[in-house]
Structure 1
Amino acid sequence: MSKPKLASKVCVVCLRPFSWRKKWRRDWEQVRYCSKRCSGQRKQVNHGLLNNEKEAV
């Protein structure tokens, strides 16, 4: 499979696009984060969004 034909998604934390990797072949549908770093930061991002929503109300 050549790189231009690989599936891609957008990371829900950093909002950057990332491409399919062989290690994700079994569970590509469940992959939401581009890296372990983003996976670890998901709670911090969600917490920040909640704080911003409270200020807006």
Structure 2
Amino acid sequence: MKGIKKQHLPSKICPICQRPFVWRKKWERDWGNVVYCSEKCQRAAKQFRRQNKETP
């Protein structure tokens, strides 16, 4: 992704906070699997799944 301007980077919408987030260098090899914008949202999703699992 070298040489691409910031406004042209790929982006996704976080399913937890509903905010857009853009591609980062550290996600270069794993961009297809990135779902959440932050660790906070990832933890919130995990907690949400855990709560729904406990409720019948």
TM-score range normalised by the length of the shorter chain: 0.7 to 0.9
Q: Residue type matched to 1:43 in 2? A: K
In the other structure, the counterpart of 2:22 is 19
Q: Is the 8 A contact 1:8 1:17 kept in 2?
A: yes
Q: Residue type matched to 1:8 in 2? A: S
Unaligned runs of 5+ in 1: none
Show the 5 A alignment for 1:1-57: 1-46=4-49, 47=51
Higher helix share: 1
Task: Report the alpha carbon displacement of residue 45 of structure 1 after superposing the two structures with TM.
Answer: 3.7
Q: Give TM-score, length-normalised by structure 2.
A: 0.75
**Greater than 6 Å deviation, 4+ residue runs:** none
Q: Is the 8 A contact 1:14 1:38 kept in 2?
A: yes
